Structure 1
Amino acid sequence: MCGIFGYIGPQCDTGLMVLDALRRLEYRGYDSWGVGVAVNGHVQVTKRAGRIGDASVALPEASIGFGHTRWATHGGVSDENAHPHLDCTGRFAVIHNGIIENFRALRARLEGAGHVFRSETDTEVVSHLIEETVRDSTDPETVVSAVRTVFGMLRGLNAIIVLDTATQQLVAAKNVSPLVVGRNENASYIASDAVALVGHVDEVHYVEDDEVVALSASGVRVYDGQTGEPRPVVFIPLTLQPADTSLGGFDHYLIKEIHEQPRVLRAIAENYAEPVRRLAAMIRESYGSFLIGCGTASYAALSGAYLFSRIARRHVNFAVGSEFKYQEHFLTERSLVIALSQSGETADIIEAVMAAKRAGARVAALVNVPGSTLDRLADFSIHLGAGPEQSVLSTKAYTAKVAILMLTAHVLNGSEHVGREHLWRAVDGVEQALAPASERRVQEIADRIADQEHCFVIGRGLSYPTALEAALKIKEVSYIHAEGFAGGELKHGVIALVEDGTPCIVFSPLDETRDDILSGAMEMRSRGGFIIGVSPEAEEVFDVHVPVAEVGDASPLVGVIPAQLLGYYLAVRRGLDPDKPRNLAKSVTVK
């Protein structure tokens, strides 16, 4: 979940360059940050608790350096616990993403041998282990071998980069946690996300779990993580452009990415016929299919389960990614696991996919990041094509997943043309929901309910996952306690929470659920609830009507837009940062 960036090349203001790159990666963790550069045989470090903001660094020019943004796991949020972490001599510095599960035993041994620790983190054991393993050698290959040896001592899903001032190299290894290397004619770079490399390089190498990589003035070297034998380095083009990572005139990335959804859905309607047919064929050939995802991706997966039932008359199982390992006993060689992830690096999803592969099951992925761990593990991937999501909240990747699953269900039903027609109607419907007048309506609602402590959201059938996703969007960015429920569950306990003035959002498309969901809305209103109806048609029970287009099976795509906007405007109204909610990070690479 932490952000990592490293550079080796011509001498320059490396500290400033690294800090600028960390700003792009701060969505991966913003509890603290740090920058280190190698000067005169030692690492000079600036590190601080808190967000980067408009911070600057006053470090000497250097030809090698790296930096880190932290999402705290071991040790509190403090300057001392920020990365990088040094060994006793100051020769080695380490940055790290992940959790070293056996760090206590390693630390106890190192302290017994006389090593002095300056932090509470698990990360610091790596710098001391490297120091102890390399000792006084200044052979670059000895350092590479030491990193390989030390990384083998660490339990858990981790990525480490070691900066060695003596040999002037960065040496890295990973297990699931992502790393990507980039190069140009003058310099080499390494990062936890290709977004940080945009504008620096045109080609990248995604580091594999069984590789150790070394960056030096002579270029990039790759070694087999088990044997230490050299491997060829395979670079592929970096397709991201600087415009993909800019705000483009918007105040925040969240609102920019919400407004990019018509473009994303339009591209799926125009270009995804062949991959959707391939996914449908894999489902057709399987005996037992599973949709898995975490957070927002889980609600897209649950929408898929409803869509396959409703459209294709096909049962596709749904499981939350972090819970899937407790159901993996059902997997056989005929099973298909369809894994949904924006980043392709979510630890719980990767763990579930690896369990599926051990059982011999096939894996399909709906993933937004080409070259990510999930993309490389899957037997078949559909790239969402949504472009970078730099807000922590996922928006356009969610609608892309739901659109692809809806089209797949229609292919299975033999009604592909109907699915595409619904998707085109949804493109128009999303544009209408994002029109200035529609957006102002949602902003007015945000102004009205911004001081509330609780909000409840209901939907039935295909709208139930939308209600869950709407509640997630509101609570994760505005910190208002929001809960989504199946509308029929109100009388089974939920309605006890509704009191005078409680905001209650009701998703009411023109489908078979309408009469029942409106009945639930009336029950909440009778208890004093303030009813916000998201529906193609107004109803007397609605205190406020948020109109959305009638788009048939694509209703989740238009229904979620007002919820995304509401979350954004609630955060702005409450003086919060919509792009960086507290305690959250974009890519959940730890369990």
Structure 2
Amino acid sequence: MCGIFGYVTTRAVCAGTVVDALRKLEYRGYDSWGVGIGINGHISVVKRAGRIPATTPDLPASSIAFGHTRWATHGGVTDVNAHPHLDCTGQLAVIHNGIIENFRKLRCELEADGHRFRSDTDSEVFAHLVEQILAASEAQDPETVVRAVQAAFERIEGLNAFIVLHYPTQQLIAVKSISPLVIGIGSTGTYVASDAVALVGLAEQVHYLGDDEVAAIRADGLHLYDRSRRAAREPRWQALALKSADTSLDGFPHYLIKEIHEQPRVLERIIREHPAQARELAELISRSYGTFLVGCGTAGYAALAGSYLFSRIARRHVNSVVASEFKYQEHFLTERSLVIALSQSGETVDVIEAVLAAKRRGARVAALVNVTGSTLDRLADFTLPLLAGPEQSVLSTKAYTAKLALLLLTAHILNGSEHVGLDLLWRAVDGMVRALTPDFQDRVKAVADRLADHQHCFVIGRGLSYPTALEAALKIKEVSYLHAEGFPGGELKHGVIALVEPGVPCFVFSPLDETRADILSGAMELQSRGGWIIGVSPEDEAVFDVHLPVAEVGDASPLVNVIPAQLLGYYLAVRKGLDPDKPRNLAKSVTVK
């Protein structure tokens, strides 16, 4: 989940380049930040707990430097636990994304051998482990250092990515297992980062580092090796598709509201560019015997919505499984099974583990993923890109609706009604635009103003609206810290209604479908207990204390109905003075278990 970045350039450049890159990666973790600079015979380290400030200390120019933005796992949020971590000599430093599962055993061994630890992190173990292996070597040339990093990496357990800065040989060494690393080349040097977004404006071509590779970045460029055979390999360069405009705020105050507003354009791209690939996915589903949708968090709710869409549109049973639970249910997979993995980043560790479990059992894997070249993209047998563009806010919005759109279209293709699916998506584009008008946003702001002082709210939906209720509750609580829970409307009498007190806000998703009568009955039950009812529906009802009118778009209703919840989460955060882009304790790409 942490963000890591480094460079080796042909001439000295301001080490502030590292800080600029870390700002782009801060969505991956913002508990602390740090920079390591190779200069004047040693590695100079500047690191601090907390967010990267608007103005950072003046940093010297150097031709080799790296940096890190942390999401804390081992050790508190302190200056000393921030990365980089130095070895005992001060000539070697590491930055790390992941968890060293056997770090306690290794640390005990290293301390017994006289190594002095400064932090409480698992990451520092790697610096001392490489140092110890190097100390046993007679030579200290660049190749020896690479082999020492390889040997140290083979001793650790877990899913990890490391960059090692070795000052005497003036090189960065990068190695990984599942956790992502991408290397870029530009006119002034070679760069490495945990996400290609950090390379925008610096690199023209990129190579996604494989788990079987180790990279040494030196002044003369990239040296790539096979990790097991230690033989030289040729990188697989590809153009970096991202541009500076993709990561700008474009006049919006925050990335979250910008990305909410980008959703109609994302749907338009899918309609125009993806029918052929959706047909390929439909063919894979039709040939499978057992299809499973897997995802985590927001992607998991998209998967759940997909199971409803395939049932009601294509009359096909498609299972939805939370990715972190999938390995406990993998036993029924066969070579005829199809696992469709949903992920914005393509690096979510629980999704990757689900995919690896599926592949071990011979199942086919398809991916709906937003990041080309990500681990999931490279593991999948078939990839359907989301075309959503970079998501800089920690909260996923446009990637969620892109997944829903592709699942809806695929279900209609399976049903032989592709034209109906495309028409529904065009109607959803129009419905999204209407939900993003200033007048509608003013309605949502008014609800946010009243909701801001509450501690709890509840969200109900039935059928296709049940996953929407879950996603709405998630959007509210993860950014505003207001406790929100989503429930199936029919479960109220089975315990949930005991939580409803006078004045408690209750959101009701009520599209014009077969669930309407039942969900309105549930709304009346909530109101009779004093609940304050906010109805998200194409038509007003007497039971609604507040009506948020949305377009009637049939089975595309989840695409439109989620917009009020996204807006509400955003405006609640703004109303409370919170950062909508970087909620506490969260990070965008969950690469640790």
Q: Please, what TM-score do these two structures have when normalized by structure 2?
A: 0.99
The residue that corresponds to 1:57 in the other structure is 57
Shift, 1:256, TM fit: 0.2
The aligned residue for residue 37 of structure 1 is: 37
Partner of 1:471 in structure 2?
A: 473
Partner of 2:86: 86
2:11–2:188 Cα contact (<8 Å) kept: no
Give 1:142's aligned residue. 144
The 1-side partners of 2:506 and 2:324 are apart by: 29
Aligned to 2:347: 345
Instruction: Measure, in 1, the Cα distance between the counterparts of 2:463 and 2:73.
Output: 38
For 1:421, the aligned partner's letter is D
**Letter matched to residue 217 of structure 2:** L
Query: Could you say what the CA RMSD is over the residues aligned between the two structures, in angstroms?
Result: 0.7
Deviations along 1:520-563, whole A, 9 cap, x unmatched? Answer: 00100111111000000000000000000000110000000000
Whole-Å separation in 1 of the counterparts to 2:145 and 2:232? 14
**Aligned residues of 1:477 and 1:571 also touching (Cα < 8 A):** yes
Q: How many Å apart are 1:477 and its aligned residue?
A: 0.1
Partner of 2:28: 28
Contact 1:490 1:520 in 2 (8 A): yes
The CA distance in 2 between the partners of 1:170 and 1:142, in whole Å, is 13
Q: Are 2:18 and 1:18 equivalent residues in the alignment?
A: yes
Alpha-carbon deviation of 1:133? 1.1
Contact 1:15–1:57 at 8 Å: present in 2 too?
Answer: no
Q: Secondary structure at 2:466's aligned position in 1?
A: helix
Once the two structures are superposed, residues 311-339 of structure 1 have per-residue CA deviations (whole angstroms, 9 ceiling, x without a partner) of: 00000011000000000001000000000
Match of 2:417 in 1: 415
Q: Is 1:9 aligned with 2:6?
A: no
SS of structure 2 residue aligned to 1:118: coil
User: 1:215 pairs with 214, 217, 220, which one?
Assistant: 217
TM (norm. structure 1) is 0.99
Return the alpha-carbon distance in structure 2 between the equivalents of residues 474 and 12 of structure 1.
46
Deviation for aligned residue 1:13: 4.3
Q: How does 1:124-523 map to 2 (within 5 A)?
A: 124-135=124-135, 137-523=139-525
The Cα of 1:184 is off from its aligned counterpart by 1.3
State the AA in 1 paired with 2:402. Answer: A
Paired residue secondary structure (2:66):
strand
Alignment of 1:559-574 (within 5 A): 559-574=561-576
**C-alpha displacement of 1:137:** 3.4
Q: 1:134: how far off?
A: 1.3
Q: Which residue identity lines up with residue 210 of structure 1 in the other structure?
A: D
Partner Cα distance (1:60, 1:255) in 2: 36
Q: Is residue 176–residue 209 contact of structure 1 (8 Å, CA) maintained in 2?
A: yes
Listed as ranges, the gaps of 5+ residues in structure 1 are: none
Q: What is the distance in 1 between the residues matched to 2:549 and 2:395? A: 24
Q: For residues 13 and 333 of structure 1, what CA distance do their matches in structure 2 show?
A: 53
- Alpha-carbon distance, 1:271 to partner: 1.3
Deviation at 1:28, TM superposition (A): 0.2
Separation (CA, whole Å) in 2 of partners of 1:15 and 1:358: 44
Post-superposition offset of 1:463: 0.2
Q: Secondary structure at the match of 2:64?
A: strand
- Residue 60 of structure 1: CA displacement? 2.3
Structure 1 CA distance for aligned equivalents of residues 187 and 10 of structure 2: 11
Please give the alpha-carbon distance, in whole angstroms, between the structure 2 residues aligned to 1:430 and 1:584: 27
**What SS class does the counterpart of residue 280 from structure 1 fall into?**
helix
Query: CA separation in 2, counterparts of 1:55 and 1:86?
Result: 25
SS in 2 for 1:326: coil
The answer to whether the 8 A contact 1:14-1:37 is kept is no
Counterpart amino acid of residue 97 in structure 1: N
Kept in 2, the 8 Å contact 1:14–1:64? The answer is no
What is the aligned partner in structure 1 of residue 74 from structure 2? 74
Q: SS of the counterpart of 2:327?
A: helix
Q: Deviations over 1:7-60 (max 9, x none)?
A: 110444432110111011000000000001001231100000000021413332
Tell me by how many angstroms 1:179 deviates. 0.3
Judge conservation of contact 1:44–1:59 (CA < 8 Å) in 2: no
**Residues 339, 314 of structure 1: alpha-carbon distance in 2 compared, 3 angstrom cutoff:** same
Counterpart for residue 107 of structure 1? 107
Q: CA deviation at 1:269?
A: 1.1
Superposed CA deviations along residues 37-94 of structure 1, whole A, max 9, x for unmatched, are 0012311000000000214133322110000000000000000000000000001000
CA contact (8 A) 1:7 1:14 kept: no
AA at the equivalent of 1:584: L
Match for residue 550 of structure 2 among 523, 548, 551: 548
**Distance of 2:387 and 2:272 partners within structure 1:** 12
TM superposition shift of 1:233: 1.1
Query: Aligned letter for 2:122?
Result: D
Measure, in 2, the Cα distance between the counterparts of 1:39 and 1:244.
34
One-letter identity of the residue aligned with 1:573? R
Cα-to-partner distance string for 1:455-511 (whole Å, 9 max, x where unaligned): 100000000000000000000000000000000000000011111111100000000
- Separation of aligned partners in 2, 1:23 and 1:185: 22
Counting aligned pairs with the same residue, the percent is: 71
Contact 1:11 1:61 in 2 (8 A): no
Deviation at 1:270, TM superposition (A): 1.2
Distance in 2, Cα, partners of 1:407 & 1:355:
28
Structure 2: tracts of 5 or more residues without a match: none
Q: Which consecutive aligned stretches of 4+ in structure 1 deviate over 6 angstroms post-superposition?
A: none
Residues in 2 aligned to 1:554 and 1:510: alpha-carbon distance in whole angstroms: 12
Letter in 1 for 2:481: Y
Counterpart Cα distance in 2 of 1:238 and 1:466: 35
